[in-house]
C-alpha cells in the first residue's frame, strides 16, 4: 500500500499465478464479508464467482464497486486507507506529504497539534449519523410496558384486601381468644328436666292404646265362578277422614257363563266393629272374560284404625282381604 493509497500485489517466491489469483479472490471475499452495504457485498460476491484470470477479476471488481465510488472522494479515501495501513504496520509517513494531503481535503477532521499517542497520519473515525438517531420504541417494548402498568394497577387494587386477610390471619394466630365473648363452657346436651316436688303428684301417663283386633269380612275369598277378589289403592295413600279411591278386581272362571257381577265396598271400624257399606256396583261381563274391575270413591271416617274390603253379591258371595288404613302402627 503506497502513501497515495494504491494497492500493489506482488508474487513472491515460487507461488503460481493460480495461487495468486486465489489469494486475491479470498482478500476480496473477506472485504465483502466485512462490508456494511449488503447490496455492495452481493455485487462483490457475484464478481468473484467463476473468475480465474487476475486481470478479469480486477476489472469485474472495479465495475462492481463503481456505483458506490465518488470520484471526488476517491483520493481522500485512498489517503485514509494509506494512513491506516501505515499506522497498522508501524511505517512512518512524511509529515510534509500528510500536511499537503490534508490541505487539499477541506472536510478532514481537525487534529490538534502537540504530543499524542496516535501514530502519524491517524484521524478519528467518522461515526455513522444513523447510530445517533433516537429510535422509536418497538412494539415489544410497548407491550411489555402496558403489561407492567396493568400489573401495577392490579397490585394496587388487591393490596388492601390482601393486607386485610393477612392481618386477620395474624390476629387469629397471635390472639385466638376474643375478649368480648364470655369465658364459659357451653353445654353440649340439654340439662335434664327438673324433678317434681315431693308433695306434687306425678303427671298421669298417657295410654298408647291397644292394637285393633282382626277384621271379619263375613265371606270367603272365592265362591262359584268367582276365583279371587282384591282391593287396592287407586290413587296414592288413603288416610282417615279423607276421600279414598279404591280399585276392585274380580277374577272369574272363563268356562262359567257369567252375565254380570255385583259388588260393594265396606268400611270397617277396627276398634268399634262398625261397618259402613257403599251402594252396589254392577259390571257386565263379556263371554270368556277372566277378570273385571271397577274404581269407586268413598269417604273414610275419622277413626284411628280402619279397614276396607270388597264383597260380591252376584253371581256368588265372596270378599277380598281387608285393606288396612293406616297400614301399620294403628291403635285403638
Task: Look at residue 134 and tell me if it is in a domain.
Answer: no
Whether 277 is in a domain gets the answer yes
pLDDT of residue 315: 92
**47 belongs to a structural domain:** yes
Q: pLDDT tens digit string along 132-187?
A: 556 676 788 889 999 999 999 999 999 998 898 888 888 777 776 555 555 556 65
Residue 256, domain extent: 226-325
pLDDT at 119 over 60: no
**Averaged pLDDT score across all residues of the chain:** 76
User: Which of 51, 72, 93 corresponds to the end of one domain?
Assistant: 72
**Tally of domains in the chain:** 2
- Whether residue 138 is contained in a domain is answered as no
Query: Is 309 inside a domain boundary?
Result: yes
The DSSP-derived string for 278-315 is: ---EEEE--TT--EEEEEEEEEPPS-SSEEEEEEEEES
* Residue 211 covered by a domain: no
Compute the chain's Rg from CA coordinates: 62
Q: Is residue 181 part of a domain?
A: no
pTM, two decimals, is 0.39
Bridge partners of 231, per DSSP, are 248
pLDDT tens track for 92-109: 655 434 434 444 444 444
Residue 123 falls within a domain, yes or no?
Answer: no
Q: Which of 8, 41, 72 is the last residue of a domain?
A: 72
CATH of the domain at 320: 2.60.40.10
Report phi then psi at 125, rounded to 5: -70, 150
pLDDT digits (tens, 9 = 90+) for 214-234: 899 989 999 999 999 999 999
Tens-place pLDDT, residues 190-208 = 777 777 676 666 655 545 6
Most confident of 72-76, 86-90, 110-114, 296-300: 296-300
- Among 247, 239, 248, smallest CA distance to 300 is for 239
Distance CA 109, CA 131 (A): 19
Amino acid at each position: 500500500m503506497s502513501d497515495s493509497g494504491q494497492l500493489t500485489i506482488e508474487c513472491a517466491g515460487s507461488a503460481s499465478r493460480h495461487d495468486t489469483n486465489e489469494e486475491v479472490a479470498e482478500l476480496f471475499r473477506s472485504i465483502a464479508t466485512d462490508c456494511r452495504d449488503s447490496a455492495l457485498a452481493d455485487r462483490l460476491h457475484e464478481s468473484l464467482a467463476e473468475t480465474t484470470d487476475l486481470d478479469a477479476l480486477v476489472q469485474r471488481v472495479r465495475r462492481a464497486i463503481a456505483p458506490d465510488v465518488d470520484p471526488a472522494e476517491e483520493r481522500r479515501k485512498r489517503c485514509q486507507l494509506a494512513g491506516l495501513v501505515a499506522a497498522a504496520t508501524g511505517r512512518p509517513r512524511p509529515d510534509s506529504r500528510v500536511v499537503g494531503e490534508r490541505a487539499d481535503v477541506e472536510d478532514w477532521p481537525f487534529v490538534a497539534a502537540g504530543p499524542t499517542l496516535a501514530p502519524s497520519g491517524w484521524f478519528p473515525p467518522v461515526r455513522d449519523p444513523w447510530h445517533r438517531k433516537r429510535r422509536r420504541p418497538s412494539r415489544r417494548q410497548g407491550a411489555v410496558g402496558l403489561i407492567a402498568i396493568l400489573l401495577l394497577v392490579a397490585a394496587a387494587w388487591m393490596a388492601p384486601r390482601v393486607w386485610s386477610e393477612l392481618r386477620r390471619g395474624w390476629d387469629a394466630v397471635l390472639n385466638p381468644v376474643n375478649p368480648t365473648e364470655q369465658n364459659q363452657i357451653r353445654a353440649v346436651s340439654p340439662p335434664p328436666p327438673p324433678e317434681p316436688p315431693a308433695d306434687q303428684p306425678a303427671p298421669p301417663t298417657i295410654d298408647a292404646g291397644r292394637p285393633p283386633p282382626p277384621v271379619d269380612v263375613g265371606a270367603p275369598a272365592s265362591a262359584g265362578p268367582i276365583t279371587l277378589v282384591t282391593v287396592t289403592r287407586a290413587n296414592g295413600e288413603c288416610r282417615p277422614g279423607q276421600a279414598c279411591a279404591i280399585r276392585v278386581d274380580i277374577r272369574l272362571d272363563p268356562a262359567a257363563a257369567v252375565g254380570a257381577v255385583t259388588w260393594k265396598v265396606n268400611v270397617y271400624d277396627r276398634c268399634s266393629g262398625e261397618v259402613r257399606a257403599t251402594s252396589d256396583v254392577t259390571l257386565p261381563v263379556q263371554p270368556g272374560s277372566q277378570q273385571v274391575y271397577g274404581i269407586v270413591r268413598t269417604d273414610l271416617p275419622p277413626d284411628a284404625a280402619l279397614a276396607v274390603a270388597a264383597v260380591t253379591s252376584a253371581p256368588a258371595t265372596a270378599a277380598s282381604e281387608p285393606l288396612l288404613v293406616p297400614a301399620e302402627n294403628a291403635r285403638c
